[in-house]
Structure 1
Amino acid sequence: MEERINHTVDIGEISEEIHKTHKGFSQWTSEANSRNHQAIVQILVDGRDESDVESEGCPLPTLVYMAREKRPQHPHNFKAGAMNALLRVSLEISNGPVILNVDCDMYSNNSKSVQDALCFFMDEDKGHEFAYVQFPQNFNNLTKNDLYAGSLRTINEVDFHGLDGNGGPLYVGSGCFHRRESLCGKKFSPTYKAELIGGKPQITEVSAYILEERSRGLATCTYEENSQWGKEVGLKYGCPVEDVITGLSIQCRGWKSIYYNPQWKAFLGLAPMTLSQALLQHKRWSEGDFQILLSKYCPFICGHGRIGLGLQMGYSIYCLWAPSSLPTLYYVVVPPLCFLNDISLFPSASDLWFIPFAFVIGAKFTCSLIESLWHGETLQGWWNEQRMWFFRRTTSYLFAFIDSVAKLLGINKLAFAITAKVADEEVSKRYEQEIMEFGSSSPMFIILSTIAILNLFCLVGGGTRLLMDGGVTSISSWFLQLLLCWCVVIIDMPIFEALFFRNDSGRLPSSTIFTSALIVVLACLIPML
């Protein structure tokens, strides 16, 4: 299929063979392309037809292909627009009360997940309260030590279980079973239990051709004009994380959600295989979450009186990812420069005020380490998680913060960045060997290499000054700043390897080295001016 798609893109038109095989393409012209085409709705397998059976004679379920209309002059609203078009078309064809949403790079790994979700929805006591059942996002291409911390272990194994006790987890866009009515804007009411018992899926006797014709009009660009689609109905538009903001609005209408994390993983997908992909993915997530905090959908505004304080705070963890970049950036730039220039910022190790700092540092890393080992992570995997936490905060979250503020000021417009998951053979081989992939002069990599070189220079320069001035006895006064520089240098070891020692295509380019070195020199000269 991939070869046929690529061949069609190369020749710029639908071949005669495809026209004959797939009638949905019959009206396509040579000018049509992925961004400019009509709506296609084709019932490939009609579940009502007795002839549509599998090899053992069991009837096959209805299978429908849909491609919504796209025109350059009409915004297509990315994934949210596609989901809303699917909602309308499925309403016309089946009107099934439960909808499963799975991303294109994920697949079902456990067929019992459908039964598991229905058990929650059909629970006699509380099932009527649930709008959606969220399964975790798991991946089948993670390395042994999870090089890029793509497992989302803390979110899947800790955070979401906590949210489950406060009204339910976030909707994360994939592996989620929705109650159709809640997704289409219905408010929760205590009487909904009786309504659910009486509700039935739509069964229609009209022909597949008529159903296709009706449904095609629901997938056009103009159908949503002057309507509530993307506002009060369906997934919401205008936010890079349309899933999170949609889930929040559903919960603010009185519904609850439920998190289910079975030992036999329900859905598996592909995690990013390069550092740039991993950072770009978190940049989009953190940018969208921060925009929610700055909008009328802020959990403490939209959720006031509608959801509990615990759930409001749970959402805020992710909404504050982007601004958390600022204090992190301060701690990896200012203390090292002050250490180099003989300016003490923290209490001495012999001072009583050193105890709170030691407690916070020790408790944070001890708790994180215990969580990782408890959930089956390796020691190296935990260290990789700490490294990626640092990389994200100084790059992904920083750019997300800047872009969000710029959008708020009207300087730039919303853009939806798709995270690529495909890598060539060399990149895949290095990923399996757990070698970090750089290979470009991204502004994010310039920031990472600048911080690495700055801390190394300050560690060497400040350490040399300490030895010359007071020797080992003076280390006590500078212990925290020395420890901070040393930790950043150790975390950044893959950066130094990519800057100075690697010769493969995944190393950092020379331009990044020169740019970062120049910035470090200027930063060190500023205090002397």
Structure 2
Amino acid sequence: MGKNGYLPLFETRPARGLVFFRSYAASIFIGICFICFHRVSYFPVTERWVWVGMFVAELWFSFYFFITVIVKWNPVFRCTFKDRLSSRFEEEELLGVDIFVCTADPRLEPPTMVVSTVLSVMAYDYPPHKLSVYLSDDGCSDLTFYALLEASGFAQLWLPFCRKLKVEPTSPEAYFQTTPEPVDDAFMANEWLIIKKTYEDMRIRIESMTRLGKVPADIRKEHKGFDEWDFVVSRHDHPSILQILIDGRDPNAIDIEGKALPTLVYLAREKRPQIHHNFKAGALNALIRISSRISNAPFILNVDCDMHSNNSKAIRDALCFFLDEDNGHEIAYVQYPQTFGNLTKNEIYGSLRVVMKLELAGFDGNGGPCYIGTGCVHRRESLCGMKYSKELIVESMAMKYDRKIIEKASSIEENCKALASCTYEENTPWGKEMGVKYGCVVEDILTGICIQSRGWRSVYLTPQREAFLGMVPTTLLDTLVQHKRWAEGDFQIFLSKHCPFVYGCQNMPLKLQLSYCIYLFWVPNCFATLYYVFVPSFCLLKGISLFPKISSSWGIPYLYVIVVHRVQSLVEFVWLGGTVRGWLNEQRMWMFKRTTSYFFAAIDNILKLCGFSKSAFIITGKVADDDLNRRYEQESMEFGTSSPMFTVLATLALFNLFGLVVVGTNKAINDDARIKVFDIFGFQILLCCVLVFVNLPIYQGMFFRKDSGKIPASVTLRSIAFALLASTLAMY
């Protein structure tokens, strides 16, 4: 029983098996102490700077391990009691929820995918007249508007169908791909086929229009909204376009069963070439203002256009936290995991499995998860800049659903356009003290830090059925570029006034401030990793030993830390639902990201500090051809294009291969001497072997593959030249 005499609406449970993790962490710490003692005690007379570099790299790895231990020291998991929520609140007493869906480019984010996501959130198991769905189209595409117009008509069939069959997932695209036709009930089977046929017809119309590249004149006449595109010069130069496609206050806005439909709004905010539009953050802030005039729900859910709803009860789960009598008033947002529906069995490009299933739960145990930009339910007041205080009494600004129109939709459309103009935010707190923060490519992390710094708490919820399913990049380059943007933005936060140790020192617990470092320090990780990947092999060719002899007892701490740390990582990954091959792919991507994504992010941060570069938001493509999809499903790593990142990867791979070949084929070394060489250089040889094994897909892409996904010949030739040059410098 809670303090106010009510049963709590949620429960917090600590993770199991923490004693084993803490024992492992303590043993690794002891091993690290022995390694540090060896580095200091056996300082060489010659080649000392190389030895110092190894020591500094190992100190950095130790520090980062310490940060990781803090994050995983006390993870907590939440569970909700939706039955108590239902018994405590009648349907009409539940509060309104505004749902924001963002898209930016119909070429990279197909309109069919966008409207499938929109339909999935319209079909939540929640009073439909208390839902308002807003689509922000930063591409200002009449194709996207046409697709949304089609979806508004299909919703009249889809929502009753979802209620009747308790459909999961509520995305029609995902549902019909994964759910077979019901065979037990002939009537329902017939209805299932009708709905599927209607959806497929709609999808074909949308895809045909997308291939055509424009909306024909006869279709444009069917809705007044298309007239707005007469004033569009380009996607970067146009006035605000606001269209209410379904007005939830209108008693005529009903489905085929006579039930109310959610409000559905299309927005393309004004853009002008000479005015910076602040990417996704600017789109979300425009939606916050527009929605405050149309629906003004006290809670806001935002999702990316490729993250469809996979759990129709996700909103009720979130409200269990906000409406809890004891603790709900201090919660700013409920963050769901970012999970993916297109992962291969062994996750060829890695995944966010450990991040989403363990690390963010650790954040929650340390004070609250970070905001990750999608799948998050916000309290409107906290998102708009309000500070939390114990004396604060939050008055929920619920919508009035008396089914009575106060203002015509056309009037609202015209009156609200100014809120989405590109000059509205001039000399206002928007993007600084209000709304989503500007000036950083990871506006989500920065916004979460600012909210927590104002005294609010956040919670992390991993329901048994995933709340959302999205799409991961299906090429290596897209994955590396995506992580480069994340790493660049995270380190930018650390160097700014919004660093958690400065901005959040008063209201954020120290362990939460330290937890953020696991992501803010992605960029510095590249330097220690590059040193460990390159220098030991370079010194192997020069005959310089950097580790203890294999026969020495000082080799035991090194061997223990390396082996036990990796075994724990494997056990953790498999425990979280992964496979052994998936773990191997995760380790490979771990190295690839540290030696390319984080390295180029470091360069970009340096250029920004020097004033030579500006932030740019890169959209990850969601469209792939059939050959690329086939290779992805076969878990064949996709290269295909020339990139400096691939040149770095291939050069490092070849350099380590050359080093291993030179040592292994040196005929001047007899068997007895070979044993002695292995005793002296054993750790470096083993490290070189591991790096060659990790880079096997690189060698295949350069020398053995013939498909279009191989590494281009130009990259191969450059990499061979660079690797040979480095090897020559090492040997001579």
| TM-score of the pair, normalised by structure 2 | 0.70
AA partner of residue 353 (structure 2) = R
Aligned to 1:162: 362
The equivalences for 1:12-51 within 5 A come to: 15-29=216-230, 32-51=233-252
CA contact (8 A) 1:132 1:258 kept: yes
AA partner of residue 578 (structure 2) = E
1:488 aligns with 2:691: yes
The equivalences for 1:249-264 within 5 A come to: 249-264=450-465
CA contact (8 A) 2:143 2:213 kept: no
Range 60-69 or range 352-361, more displaced: 352-361
AA partner of residue 425 (structure 1) = D
Aligned to 2:616: 415
Counterpart secondary structure, 2:720 = helix
1:60 aligns with 2:269: no
CA contact (8 A) 1:272 1:421 kept: yes
The equivalences for 1:45-444 within 5 A come to: 45-150=246-351, 152-192=352-392, 194-196=393-395, 199-201=397-399, 205-444=406-645
Tell me, in whole angstroms, the C-alpha distance in 2 between the residues paired with 1:85 and 1:322: 32
RMSD: 1.9
AA partner of residue 368 (structure 2) = G
Aligned to 2:713: 510
Query: Aligned in 2, Cα 1:201/1:57: closer, same or farther, shift over 3 Å?
Result: closer
Counterpart secondary structure, 2:438 = coil
CA contact (8 A) 1:42 1:212 kept: yes
CA contact (8 A) 2:354 2:576 kept: no
Range 466-475 or range 42-51, more displaced: 466-475
AA partner of residue 427 (structure 2) = N
Q: Deviation at 1:17?
A: 3.5
CA contact (8 A) 2:541 2:731 kept: no
Query: Aligned in 2, Cα 1:436/1:293: closer, same or farther, shift over 3 Å?
Result: same
What whole-Å deviation, never above 9, does each CA across 1:164-220 have from its counterpart, x for those lacking one?
Answer: 11111110000000000100000001123x333x64336771221221122111011
Tell me, in whole angstroms, the C-alpha distance in 1 between the residues paired with 2:229 and 2:696: 54
Counterpart secondary structure, 1:42 = strand
Q: Deviation at 1:455?
A: 0.3
Structure 1 stretches (4+) deviating beyond 6 angstroms? 6-14
AA partner of residue 166 (structure 1) = N
AA partner of residue 384 (structure 2) = C
Tell me, in whole angstroms, the C-alpha distance in 1 between the residues paired with 2:474 and 2:397: 45
CA contact (8 A) 1:28 1:38 kept: no
CA contact (8 A) 2:526 2:594 kept: yes
Counterpart secondary structure, 2:366 = coil
Q: Deviation at 1:12?
A: 8.3
Range 346-355 or range 455-464, more displaced: 346-355
CA contact (8 A) 1:12 1:33 kept: no
CA contact (8 A) 1:47 1:60 kept: yes
Tell me, in whole angstroms, the C-alpha distance in 1 between the residues paired with 2:568 and 2:691: 20
Tell me, in whole angstroms, the C-alpha distance in 2 between the residues paired with 1:361 and 1:279: 26
Tell me, in whole angstroms, the C-alpha distance in 2 between the residues paired with 1:39 and 1:224: 14
Q: Deviation at 1:37?
A: 1.2
What whole-Å deviation, never above 9, does each CA across 1:4-58 have from its counterpart, x for those lacking one?
Answer: 5688889887643354233233243375221111111111111111111111111
Query: Aligned in 2, Cα 1:506/1:237: closer, same or farther, shift over 3 Å?
Result: same
CA contact (8 A) 1:13 1:32 kept: no
Tell me, in whole angstroms, the C-alpha distance in 2 between the residues paired with 1:405 and 1:279: 19
| TM-score of the pair, normalised by structure 1 | 0.96
Counterpart secondary structure, 1:178 = strand
Q: Deviation at 1:250?
A: 0.4
Query: Aligned in 2, Cα 1:199/1:44: closer, same or farther, shift over 3 Å?
Result: closer
AA partner of residue 367 (structure 1) = Q
Identity %: 52
Query: Aligned in 2, Cα 1:202/1:48: closer, same or farther, shift over 3 Å?
Result: closer
Q: Deviation at 1:356?
A: 2.4
Tell me, in whole angstroms, the C-alpha distance in 1 between the residues paired with 2:665 and 2:506: 58
Range 384-393 or range 352-361, more displaced: 352-361
What whole-Å deviation, never above 9, does each CA across 1:219-263 have from its counterpart, x for those lacking one?
Answer: 111111111111110011111100000000000000011000112
Query: Aligned in 2, Cα 1:467/1:185: closer, same or farther, shift over 3 Å?
Result: farther
What whole-Å deviation, never above 9, does each CA across 1:83-122 have from its counterpart, x for those lacking one?
Answer: 0000000000011000000001110011100000000111
CA contact (8 A) 2:658 2:727 kept: no
AA partner of residue 422 (structure 2) = C
AA partner of residue 406 (structure 1) = L
Query: Aligned in 2, Cα 1:291/1:278: closer, same or farther, shift over 3 Å?
Result: same
Tell me, in whole angstroms, the C-alpha distance in 2 between the residues paired with 1:18 and 1:492: 53
